[in-house]
Amino acid sequence: MRKMTLPLALIAMVSFVALAAAVASAAEKKADEKKAEAKKPSDRIVVMYFHRTQRCPTCQKMGSYSEEAVAQGFEKQLKEGSVEFHYIDFQDEKNAAIAKAYKIGGPTLLAVKVVKDKPVDGVNLKEIWMKVRDHEAFLTYVRDTVVALEKRKVPEKRAEQKAG
């Protein structure tokens, strides 16, 4: 009987340690995410690809091309947080407010300039529909639009109104 108890106790102890490590890891990840959120620059460009819950191959391609354009064109800015990329399912209830705010009714790629943590300017990249069959043209269009938005000056009064 004693031989049986030792392996069971050992299994229980190993299982407990593994569970504790997993919980600690999850807590650490959440803490890291909160730190990253807190370090986010107040001035940044946010690129959002709004998509339906069920996506056709073309919509999937536009999403992946959009992400690729941002990831390859703004690697340093992504790490710094001055450029962000997000996929947003506009049909999901949890995203209803943002979809309504930007009047999203179908797959859309938006680039939004944020100043003092408030959106002050933005561009709807409507030409992605015409460029989806030309990979390089698509990537160039997205990158050029983001660069132009970064450089675009927002009238000071407008930025103060939106940010204040």
Name, in order, each residue with C-beta under 8 angstroms of 141's C-beta and a sequence gap of 6 or more: 125, 127, 128, 131
Residue 40, pLDDT score = 83
| Nearest C-alpha neighbor of 68 from the set 148, 5, 21, 135 | 135
Cα distance between residue 79 and residue 8, in whole Å: 47
pLDDT in tens, 75-117: 999 999 999 999 999 999 999 999 999 999 999 999 999 999 9
| Nearest C-alpha neighbor of 65 from the set 47, 89, 42, 43 | 47
The pLDDT confidence band at residue 164, using thresholds 50, 70 and 90, is: very low
Q: What are phi and psi of 79, to 5 degrees?
A: -65, -40
How many helices, marked H, and strands, marked E, lie in the chain?
Answer: 7, 4
Q: Let me know the angle formed at the C-alpha of 122 by 136 and 52, rounded to the nearest 5 degrees.
A: 70
pLDDT in tens, 8-63: 544 545 444 444 455 555 555 555 555 555 578 989 999 999 999 999 999 999 99
